[in-house]
Amino acid sequence: MPTSPSDPAALTATTDLAVIGAGPAGLAAAVTAARLGLRVTLLDTAERPGGQYYRHPAASLGATRPEALHHDWRAFTTREAALRAHEAAGRITYLPRHHVWTVVPADEPGTWTLHAVAGHAPDETPTTLRTRRVLLATGAYERQLPFPGWTLPGVVGAGGAQAMLKNNLVLPGRRVVVAGSGPLLLAVAGSLAAAGATVPAVVEAASYTAYAPQTPALLRNPAKLAEGATYGGALLRHGIRLLTRHAVTEAHGTTRVEAVTIARLDKDWRPLPGTARRIPCDALAVGHGLVPQLELATGLGCATLQAPDGTVALELDAAQRTSVPGISSAGETGGIGGAQLALTEGEIAAHAIAGRPVPAALTRRRARLRAFAAAMAAAHRPGSGWTDWLREETDVCRCEEVPAGRIREAAEELGARDARTVKLLTRAGMGWCQGRMCGPAVAALAGEAPAPDRRPFSCPVPLRHLAALPPTEPAPPGP
Amino acid sequence: MRSPRELVGGSPAATYPIAFDGRELPAQEGQTVAAVLWAAGILAWRSTRQGGTPRGAFCGIGSCYDCLVTVNGRPNQRACLVPARPGDTVTTQEGTGHADLAV
Ligand SMILES: Cc1cc2nc3c(=O)[nH]c(=O)nc-3n(C[C@H](O)[C@H](O)[C@H](O)COP(=O)(O)OP(=O)(O)OC[C@H]3O[C@@H](n4cnc5c(N)ncnc54)[C@H](O)[C@@H]3O)c2cc1C
Ligand code: FES
């Protein structure tokens, strides 16, 4: 039986495993753990399971062919069916529309308390949950590198355009340039074109020849190559040009984007003089890869490392455990790697948490897909020259409207040596999004590598919910 | 011209109007407020606190807070997450959305 968030029974019982995030990683983990005998609570911010990859329209939107927007849709439908069966059997409590904002040790040793907000304003309610083990499967958000005009309406995230299309069946415009870096751009361009948009070009800052040194990792991944070929085929079919080693260096328009300027880049992503040209469009979908979403993990003190794409990811062992006993993680939180890897890691984590041996085939598949992910991450890691796209007045922090000039001044003249000091001096990263959009850019301008996510809460929490928290954790209820 | 709807087939269970700045926009049950605005060709529905520049949805997944809007009198709602419900009144948000409370 699904348990209503306000049902006190849900709050007093201690579940075996709380899985945070119902994307490929969390969904696979939850159904595998339930099959292996654990009682599981699966919490997710979204209305429906699937995460970023298996986003799909609400049933009320009446899509009869949701698979038209997906690759390998069956991998999702089989797991969703398993989720529903475990739910009906009382082995999984699935709580959609639940945003977990913190995880803290409970007073009974070896257990954890999760705090979440359920529902949408103004009807949101606080929920707590006690669990023995936690699996963080919170995925990623897009990495954005600013450029003049990137705050214009019509400039949208590449993954964001994909998400709006998959969830809501809408497009930001009719003529959409897709730009940035990473394999997601090919998927996005293919979907936008299939849904009726004209895509004049995919503008990719990296060079696909950067993959050449990685040939062994590529050859061990025929499925990935086939996926790449599918995207390549879609580009050809829709007449989309792929321009590598190019970037959008400016978006033009007054109330919305009307055109973009693209330029050729050198190997460090510095625009080459004299190569600029304009492409008219009414939207730009842009993204430079993804950033693991780690605030719950860093709040718990989990160790991190720098991934080959320059992002901060969790340090995990062979059983998907973080450095904090009792806390595991799977999917993009351990480094960007795609949906197949996320599914595999979710299953590995579930076996380990259930105390079962991890099937060797899963371990082999993870090694193969991780090698591929690392090759791709390295190829698309932003070159240092991208900051040449900025003008002094280009806003870097969208929330607090802090221009590049002020950030450079803090770094060069006021002596700020790290992004934290820049933030305190300029307010960059102090607004609503808490640096999710400008973090990588501010770090680059401050001359340091990106620091791990540090946010007190993973979403805005109404003050009255904080005020309602007991000063210490409540005593565990008797059995 | 091809559309997302043609790609996935089918039709929405219900279609109803919502109000946006005095206009009526058609919402399909299951769409978010941001989607209803995009479908109507509207890409901006707030202006920033300092520069007063227009903004709309950017990340599409609830992490950038660029899509803040006033829904039924409550400012600062993320349009990309909030479902459009029958009878909703959505208004452009200026600055913090609390101008009427300004001291
Ligand atoms: C906007 C966007 C679009 C993408 N589109 C594609 C695509 O079309 N094709 C492709 O190959 N890859 C895409 N990706 C890449 C995608 O991240 C992975 O391939 C895959 O979905 C990763 O699986 P995951 O389970 O690790 O994370 P995700 O799929 O990201 O799932 C994480 C889940 O956790 C939930 N969550 C996060 N924080 C909390 C919290 N605090 N409390 C509760 N729930 C939480 C999220 O709502 C989400 O449902 C996209 C990524 C992004 C950011
Ligand atoms: S578009 Fe980013 S939060 Fe809504």
ipTM of the complex: 0.95
Among A124, A59, A300, which Cα is nearest to B78's? Answer: A124
Query: Per the CB < 8 Å rule, is A401 touching B68?
Result: no
- Hey, is the C-beta of A373 within 8 angstroms of any chain B C-beta? no
User: Which residues face A192 on adjacent strands?
Assistant: none
Give the best residue of A65, A169, A398 to mutate against chain B (max B CB count within 10 A).
Answer: A169
- Hey, is the C-beta of B61 within 8 angstroms of any chain A C-beta? yes
A421: burial class by Cβ within 10 Å (0-12, 13-18, 19+)? middle
| Comparison of pLDDT for A248 and B103, the residue scoring more | A248
b (16+ CB within 10 A) / e for B54-88: bbbbbbbbbbbbbbbbbbeeebbbbbbbbbbeeeb
Give the best residue of B25, B61, B71, B85 to mutate against chain A (max A CB count within 10 A).
Answer: B61
Q: Which of B12, B56, B64 is facing A62, going by the closest CB pair? A: B12
Query: Per the CB < 8 Å rule, is B8 touching A65?
Result: yes
B 7-26: CB under 8 A from A: 7-14
Query: Per the CB < 8 Å rule, is A60 touching B14?
Result: yes
Query: Per the CB < 8 Å rule, is B29 touching A168?
Result: no
Q: What angle do CA B4, B6, B9 make, to 5 degrees?
A: 105
Query: Per the CB < 8 Å rule, is B58 touching A155?
Result: yes
Q: What angle do CA A145, A151, A155 make, to 5 degrees?
A: 80
Read off the pTM: 0.92
How many CB atoms are located within 10 Å of the residue A414 CB? 12
Query: A160 CB under 6 A from ligand 1?
Result: yes
Starting at the edge strand found earlier in the chain, the sheet holding A257-264 runs A246-253, A257-264, A277-280
DSSP string of A74-106, one letter each residue: HHHHHHHHHHHHHHHTTSEEEETTEEEEEEEE-
Q: Please state, in angstroms and rounded to a whole number, the distance separating the CA atoms of residues B41 and B37.
A: 6
How far away, in angstroms, is A21 Cα from ligand 1 center? 8
Q: What is the DSSP letter of A449?
A: P
Q: Please state, in angstroms and rounded to a whole number, the distance separating the CA atoms of residues A271 and A126.
A: 49
Q: Which of A60, A154, A165 is facing B4, going by the closest CB pair? A: A165
Query: B60 CB under 6 A from ligand 2?
Result: yes
Q: Please state, in angstroms and rounded to a whole number, the distance separating the CA atoms of residues B2 and B30.
A: 21
Give the best residue of A70, A155, A170 to mutate against chain B (max B CB count within 10 A).
Answer: A170
Closest chain A C-alpha to B5 CA, distance in angstroms? 6
Q: Are A322 and A302 in contact (CB under 8 A)?
A: yes
What atom of ligand 2 comes closest to residue B79's alpha carbon? 4
A 398-437: CB under 8 A from B: 398-399, 401, 431-433, 436-437
Ligand number with the minimum distance to the CA of B38: 2
A 42-81: CB under 8 A from B: 45, 47, 52, 57-66, 68-69
Q: Are A161 and A55 in contact (CB under 8 A)?
A: no
pLDDT recorded at residue A49: 97
Query: Per the CB < 8 Å rule, is B7 touching A66?
Result: no
pLDDT in tens, chain A (479 residues): 334 444 444 455 799 999 999 999 999 999 999 999 999 999 999 999 999 999 999 999 989 998 898 888 999 999 999 999 999 999 999 999 999 999 999 988 899 999 999 987 677 899 999 999 999 999 999 999 999 999 999 999 999 999 999 999 999 999 999 999 998 999 999 999 999 999 999 999 998 766 656 666 666 776 776 677 677 778 888 889 999 999 999 999 999 999 999 999 999 999 999 999 999 999 999 999 999 999 999 999 999 999 999 999 999 999 999 999 999 999 999 999 999 999 999 999 999 999 999 999 999 999 999 998 998 899 899 999 999 999 999 999 999 999 999 999 888 888 777 778 888 888 888 888 888 999 889 988 888 777 777 776 777 676 667 666 655 444 444 33
Element (H, E) at B15: strand B15-20
How far away, in angstroms, is A335 Cα from ligand 2 center? 23
b (16+ CB within 10 A) / e for A46-85: bebbbbbbbbbbbeebbbeebebbbbeeebbeebbebbee
Query: B65 CB under 6 A from ligand 2?
Result: yes
Query: B67 CB under 6 A from ligand 2?
Result: yes
